Structure 1
Amino acid sequence: MCAALLISCDDNMVFEQNQEIDGAVWSWDEPVRFQFQVSDTVSRHNFYINLRNGNDYPYSNMFLFVTLNFPNGKKSVDTVECFLADQAGRWYGTGMGNMHDNRFLYKQNKQFPLAGNYRIEIHQAMRQDDLPDIHDVGFRLSRGQ
């Protein structure tokens, strides 16, 4: 997989990175990983998952397993459902042509318990081993309220 850094003018953004999925087919055994440094254990933060899909993605949603690895070796694992289309099949998100960009709030106003290096791993958790027309998966961390 190839990583690309997305730069934004948002003052609240702490970290954002998106990874291109090889061949736009996301396999269950190829997690997307992001590593980031935390020094602020006082402020609250929002965690987001970025997904870019095409019109040929066969489902209206996507289940993900999201693992947050802490600097002390502990980890937390969550199952997250992201809705990509409405019941009529109209895609959510922004984009042009057949590409659709979505940002999903995963955790809101959370404090980091420790300073240090954190790692996020995102696995697709659908019943289909290889998901077609998934182009990018990303993680964004921003300051909360």
Structure 2
Amino acid sequence: MTRFLLLALLAVCTSCADRVIYSESIDIDKTGWDINDTLYFDVELTDTISLLDIGMTITHTDDYPYSNIWLFLEVSSDNGSQFTDTLNYIIAESSGKWVGAKKGKNYVVNISYRDYVKMAHTGNYRFAIRQGMREEKLRGVSKLEFRINKSEK
């Protein structure tokens, strides 16, 4: 029975790992996320058939002063296409309880940006993310992970 459970766990972990196309984390300066600091994620995409899920994970502390976070996302590709998106994510309930999992002194919030995306062409893509909270130094955000996975669907 133990072997069966171990094999089942291994199969689940392997199938999750097979879905990951890109994942990178960037630590935010402890003094705060400067309004002029842009986080860059450069991704080479070679698949125009699979559906993709694009998301982020924000790690923050109790020092984060808001219940939401505004982000500006710019996407550009080597074929010249470019677009900008403004995103607003709720990271605390109206009661003040943080959304996400508590990990030590941090809170980790998984955010879905777009699901079931099919890329129009292969090539290099740059995802540039800035904080849009109108604070010169946004305190409390300690890390941002950007990820692209193959959709389960």
Q: Could you say whether these structures have the same fold, taking a TM-score greater than 0.5 normalized by the shorter chain as the test?
A: yes
Residue in 1 that maps onto 2:85: 78
Amino-acid identity (%): 27
Give CA deviations for 1:32-75 in whole Å, capped at 9, x if unaligned: 11011111011110100211000010001000001111121221
Structure 2, unmatched stretches of 5+, are: 1-12
Aligned residues: 138
TM-score by length of 1: 0.90
Residue in 1 that maps onto 2:53: 46
- Which of 92, 96, 117 pairs up with 1:110? 117
Give distance in 2, aligned partners of 1:105 and 1:14: 15
Residue in 2 that maps onto 1:134: 141
Give distance in 1, aligned partners of 2:71 and 2:126: 16
Secondary structure of the structure 2 residue equivalent to 1:15:
strand
Q: Which structure would you say has the larger Rg?
A: 2
Q: Which runs of 4+ in 1 moved over 6 A?
A: none
- Which structure has the highest strand share of the two? 1
Give distance in 2, aligned partners of 1:73 and 1:26: 29
Q: Tell me if 1:88 matches 2:91.
A: no
Residue in 2 that maps onto 1:18: 25
Residue in 1 that maps onto 2:75: 68
Structure 1, unmatched stretches of 5+, are: 1-7
- Deviation at residue 22 of structure 1 after TM alignment: 1.5
- Deviation at residue 127 of structure 1 after TM alignment: 2.0
- Which structure has the highest helix share of the two? 2
TM-score by length of 2: 0.85
Give CA deviations for 1:14-46 in whole Å, capped at 9, x if unaligned: 111110011251011001110111110111101
